[in-house]
């Protein structure tokens, strides 16, 4: 369903308990409010406090897992920037991981990773947040780190760090904007939708020229203005107590000085007097038309009705746009969305056309489809479907402390009320059919829009209309910038030694999920666990088929079959199936992967019986209609043709072909080839289903708030499933390309180069054997943010947004792969540094300090492994897939604790033979050819199919 996920669910209103004497003042902070859970209602209980310096603190206690989530959200995003100074908020997201007075360079990531946690930061138009999820005994570490970069950052921000992160941001822009198909769509649409100077008229990541012009002092001024504690919310959710959190919050955050006062910005909706046409050429295959109508800001009284309108127009398979454009086969993709931010919003209509389509005709058809809404109207079923799906997706977000903490932080930041959930529920649940019709007339019908024609290079003849609007970008003579002279950095004063890193408490006891097993007479093996944190059930059925058991002549057939199984059954059309599932807030889908076909079923427990009736239809009675096959086949062929527009995909495909040899199925993309898919028939798909969609060898995983005795009778329909046993077809011996060479593919004009380095080995998946030990060995080479490869290429050199390496294996042998997208000017240098790090690690091994880090990180991260239903299902599935004993986790722990630096060194020497590796580069030949030819390797040019030219 194409709908925005809202941080709320259907629930009874929670009881808000205020202190009878008003806010309760304590030393250093004030208690503001407490929300408690009453009965079986679904609510996020919390306590809210405010430190004397203005920092808001929210604490949610959840003792179900030994995990804690810490979030610091600053009410500052790109909307707080100024004309000509774009990208500062996002730039600071990077800088705040670069160390502070008491945290050394690159130690923030290292400290959290060593503690067994995960972390990140994100920036959008309206806010920046930083977050960690860790074992609960590491709470103090997280608060120490977050407080240090809030209050003790600026003296540690050096020109060198500034330049490295500027290069990293440029690489990020290259990877996610310039080198990605349609990556510039949002940027150019917003330039036309919002007037010059509007905070949403520039991209969050910023413009390259403005990043180049920024100075270190500019960045420091931005921090001083917006990153004070009184413009932030600290949220702690998990296995903690409020008293514990507040003592630590007071200790670490209390001394930080209050920052300048910050006021909420007024809503600034876009206004258009007439249609604005703009166009853009890019290295794409499919012309795209997007029409954007100004709407409203987030939480405006009309937002909920607009969301439902966008779903009716372009949400699921019953929507107008799906029926008119996708089901009919006229267009490749069609969607409608209503993204709303704090200051403004817009409803966006997007059609992705087949090659050669004239977008003038597309615009006519798009407008006609919008007009059909008046004929169709709004039904009770429309509202029921939306609200049911809305309820289910929200409840599923409550399955993790991160999900609950994020909701609290968002509500507090944007409304000042962490308990805003009641109002949010009401505005969605109270939407009527009349409301939806009203907002259609007020914001869409006959209203001007921004129309973007996004076309392949050299095909401006396809645009909908000549450009009639040229945006003003950046600073002009009339631009007035803020004066930051009044701001000064006043370092906080402590009464303790902040340089002493806190010691964690005792490591928490991690309980591996208890589970039950079952084996059905038809061959299905099942495993499940009961969890009562949320009222949902997730069911996963996997079959050992997928791409691996295809032939090259029929490559892509499992993917097509899975797509066909999502297109209706003998008793339900695709639209009817979609409608019935949406009414329940449930999902049933089939997908195909490298070694499995998977059926995923998720539902609220109260709707399980009806959902399983529909799942039975999907599994046992697919319709396999000729018209659906023709449409999906056409889409598959276009997707295959489009792969050559994506440098990362070209590099991965070429590496596979060069590694396996052209006669091996794994050398061929799982989507198939033009030849294999073109030759495919519906009868082939039916034959594949009859042969391989069999219960023999199928694995069933169940996670939910029902016991074995409660759930198994509901799954009796699976006993009706029949089929024969089968094995994977035998594959030829590997016939990979000659190692020790660079295989280069030209992608003219590529903004970045894609690098792949690796080789095939004989390791199969073994969680307690050589494969597991190899993954331990690789962890410090390229398996985490602070690995040697990533620190070198990203943090020290600024060549990439991220570089990694890993060992991969399944039931069949895999191999080792190192990879990155790098700035094209540093292609040769990046390859050199990759090889330097791999060779050095193999020659010299790991240091004692690094090994201690690896052991701490991997040991303590186990606390995070079983929190959500998805994580529990993954654990159970591994047990079934590889016939593991439940105690394998304990064996892994013993291996990890006993492994020595000498053993790591021997593993590195054995499993990192660069002389056996092939090197693949996809990039702009004019830029990189000369440099890579100076590295001392034979350079072999290959074509887009991986064949040597």
Looking at residue 481, what is its pLDDT?
79
The DSSP code sequence of 289-330 is EEEEEE---TT-TTHHHHHHHHHHHHSSTTSHHIIIIIITTS
- The answer to whether 290 and 454 have CB atoms below 8 angstroms apart is yes
- In Å, what is the CA distance from 197 to each residue of 78, 79, 277, 470, 623? 12, 10, 20, 14, 54
Which ranges of 643-707 would DSSP assign to H, the alpha helix?
647-660, 674-678, 682-692
- The answer to whether 45 and 450 have CB atoms below 8 angstroms apart is no
- Distance separating alpha carbons of residues 293 and 347, to the nearest angstrom: 5
- Distance separating alpha carbons of residues 347 and 312, to the nearest angstrom: 13
**Half-sphere exposure (CA, 13 Å, Cβ side) for 13?**
8
Mean pLDDT, range 793-814, rounded to an integer: 93
Place of tokens 């409660």: 710
- Distance separating alpha carbons of residues 436 and 442, to the nearest angstrom: 10
Kindly tell me if the per-residue pLDDT of 142 is higher than 70. yes
Kindly tell me if the per-residue pLDDT of 840 is higher than 90. yes
Helices 88-95 and 216-226: crossing angle in degrees, nearest 10, is 90
Looking at residue 22, what is its pLDDT?
57
Structural tokens at position 692:
């391989």
Helices 574-584 and 608-620: crossing angle in degrees, nearest 10, is 160
Task: Give the whole-number percent of the chain exceeding pLDDT 90.
Answer: 80
Mean pLDDT, range 520-536, rounded to an integer: 93
- The answer to whether 797 and 878 have CB atoms below 8 angstroms apart is no
pLDDT, mean over the chain:
92
- Distance separating alpha carbons of residues 193 and 824, to the nearest angstrom: 33
- In Å, what is the CA distance from 107 to each residue of 119, 136, 848? 13, 20, 17
Element (H, E) at 219: helix 216-226
pTM: 0.90
Domains and CATH numbers, the chain: 44-253 (3.30.830.10), 516-720 (3.30.830.10), 742-941 (3.30.830.10)
pLDDT digits (tens, 9 = 90+) for 72-120: 999 999 999 999 999 999 998 888 888 999 999 889 999 999 999 999 9
Mean pLDDT, range 573-589, rounded to an integer: 94
Structural tokens at position 885:
């004993």
pLDDT digits (tens, 9 = 90+) for 147-196: 999 999 999 989 998 898 888 888 888 888 887 889 999 999 999 999 99
Q: 374: pLDDT confidence band, cut at 50, 70 and 90?
A: very high
**Half-sphere exposure (CA, 13 Å, Cβ side) for 430?**
9
Kindly tell me if the per-residue pLDDT of 3 is higher than 60. no
Q: What single DSSP character describes residue 258? A: P
- Distance separating alpha carbons of residues 798 and 469, to the nearest angstrom: 37
Q: What single DSSP character describes residue 637? A: H
Mean pLDDT, range 200-207, rounded to an integer: 94
Q: What is residue 179's three-state secondary structure?
A: coil
């Amino acid at each position: 369903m194409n709908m925005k996920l809202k941080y709320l669910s259907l629930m009874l209103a929670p009881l808000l308990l205020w202190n009878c004497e008003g806010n309760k003042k304590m030393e250093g902070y004030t208690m503001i409010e407490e929300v408690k859970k009453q009965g079986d209602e679904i609510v996020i209980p919390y306590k809210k406090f405010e430190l004397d310096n203005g920092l808001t603190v929210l604490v949610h206690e959840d003792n179900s897992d030994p995990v804690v989530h810490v979030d610091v959200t600053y009410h500052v995003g790109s909307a707080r920037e100024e004309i000509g100074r774009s990208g500062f908020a996002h730039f600071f997201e990077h800088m705040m991981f670069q160390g502070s007075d008491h945290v050394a360079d690159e130690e923030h990531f290292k400290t959290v990773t060593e503690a067994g946690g995960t972390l990140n930061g994100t920036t959008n138009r309206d806010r920046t947040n930083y977050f960690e999820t860790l074992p609960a005994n590491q709470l103090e570490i997280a608060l120490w780190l977050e407080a240090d970069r809030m209050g003790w950052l600026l003296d540690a921000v050096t020109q060198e760090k500034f330049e490295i992160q500027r290069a990293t941001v440029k690489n990020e822009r290259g990877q996610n904007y310039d080198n990605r198909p349609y990556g510039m769509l949002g940027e150019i649409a917003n330039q036309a939708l919002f007037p010059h100077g509007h905070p949403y008229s520039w991209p969050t990541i910023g413009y390259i020229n403005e990043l180049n012009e920024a100075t270190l002092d500019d960045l420091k001024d931005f921090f001083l203005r917006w990153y004070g504690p009184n413009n932030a919310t600290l949220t702690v959710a998990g296995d903690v107590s409020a008293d514990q959190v507040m003592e630590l919050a007071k200790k670490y955050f209390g001394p930080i000085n209050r920052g300048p006062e910050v006021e909420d910005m007024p809503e600034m909706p876009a206004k258009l007097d007439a249609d604005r046409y703009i166009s853009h050429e890019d290295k794409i295959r499919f012309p795209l038309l997007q029409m954007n109508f100004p709407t409203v800001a987030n939480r405006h009284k009309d937002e909920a009705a607009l969301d439902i309108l966008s779903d009716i127009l372009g949400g699921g398979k019953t929507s107008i746009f799906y029926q008119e454009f996708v089901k009919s086969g006229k267009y490749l993709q069609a969607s409608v969305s209503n993204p709303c931010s704090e200051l403004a919003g817009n409803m966006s209509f997007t059609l992705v056309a087949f090659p050669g389509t004239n977008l003038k005709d597309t615009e006519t058809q798009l407008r006609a489809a919008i007009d059909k809404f008046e004929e169709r109207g709004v039904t009770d079923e429309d509202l029921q479907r939306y609200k049911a799906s809305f309820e289910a997706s929200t409840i599923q977000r409550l399955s993790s402390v991160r999900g609950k903490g994020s909701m609290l932080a968002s509500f507090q930041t944007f409304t000042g009320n962490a308990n805003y959930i009641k109002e949010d529920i009401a505005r969605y649940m109270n939407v009527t059919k009349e409301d939806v019709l009203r907002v259609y007339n007020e914001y869409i019908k006959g209203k001007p829009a921004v129309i973007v024609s996004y076309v392949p290079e050299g095909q401006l003849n396809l645009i909908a209309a000549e450009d009639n609007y040229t945006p003003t970008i950046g600073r002009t003579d009339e631009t007035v910038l803020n004066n930051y002279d009044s701001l000064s950095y006043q370092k906080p004063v402590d009464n303790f030694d902040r340089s002493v890193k806190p010691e964690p408490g005792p490591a928490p006891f991690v309980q591996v999920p208890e589970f039950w097993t079952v084996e059905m007479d038809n061959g299905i093996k099942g495993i499940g666990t009961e969890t009562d944190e949320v009222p949902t059930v997730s069911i996963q059925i996997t079959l050992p088929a997928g791409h691996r058991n295809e032939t090259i002549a029929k490559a892509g057939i499992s993917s097509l079959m899975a797509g066909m199984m999502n297109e209706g059954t003998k008793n339900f059309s695709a639209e009817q199936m979609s409608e019935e599932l949406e009414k329940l807030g449930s999902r049933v889908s089939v997908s195909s992967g490298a070694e499995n076909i998977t059926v995923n079923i998720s539902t609220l427990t109260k709707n399980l019986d009806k959902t399983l009736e529909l799942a039975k239809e999907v599994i046992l009675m697919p319709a396999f209609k000729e018209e659906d096959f023709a449409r999906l086949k056409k889409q598959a062929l276009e997707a295959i043709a489009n792969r050559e527009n994506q440098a990362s995909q070209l590099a991965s495909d070429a590496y596979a072909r060069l590694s396996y040899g052209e006669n091996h199925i794994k050398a061929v993309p799982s989507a198939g080839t033009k030849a294999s898919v073109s030759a495919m028939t519906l009868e082939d798909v039916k034959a594949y289903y009859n042969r391989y969609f069999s219960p023999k060898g199928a694995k069933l995983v169940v996670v939910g708030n029902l016991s074995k005795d409660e759930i198994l009778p509901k799954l009796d329909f699976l006993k009706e499933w029949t089929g024969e046993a089968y094995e994977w077809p035998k594959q030829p011996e590997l016939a990979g390309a000659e190692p020790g060479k660079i295989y280069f593919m030209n992608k003219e004009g590529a903004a970045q180069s894609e690098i792949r380095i690796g080789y095939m080995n004989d390791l199969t998946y073994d969680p307690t054997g050589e494969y597991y030990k190899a993954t331990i060995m690789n962890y410090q080479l390229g398996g985490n943010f602070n690995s040697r490869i990533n620190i070198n290429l990203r943090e020290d050199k600024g060549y990439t947004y991220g570089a990694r390496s890993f060992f991969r294996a399944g039931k069949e042998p895999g191999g080792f792969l190192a990879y990155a997208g790098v700035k094209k000017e540093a292609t040769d240098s990046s390859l050199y540094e990759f090889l330097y790090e791999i060779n050095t690690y193999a020659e010299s091994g790991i240091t004692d300090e690094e090994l201690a880090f690896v052991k701490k990180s991997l040991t303590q991260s186990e606390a995070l492994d079983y929190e959500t239903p998805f994580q529990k299902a993954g654990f159970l599935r591994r047990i079934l897939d590889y016939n593991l004993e439940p105690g394998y986790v304990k064996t892994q722990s013993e291996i990890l604790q006993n492994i020595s630096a000498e053993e790591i060194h021997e593993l590195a020497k054995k499993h990192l033979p660069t002389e056996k590796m092939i090197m693949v580069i996809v990039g702009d030949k004019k830029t990189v050819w000369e440099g890579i030819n100076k590295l001392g390797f034979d350079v072999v040019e290959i074509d887009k199919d991986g064949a040597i030219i």
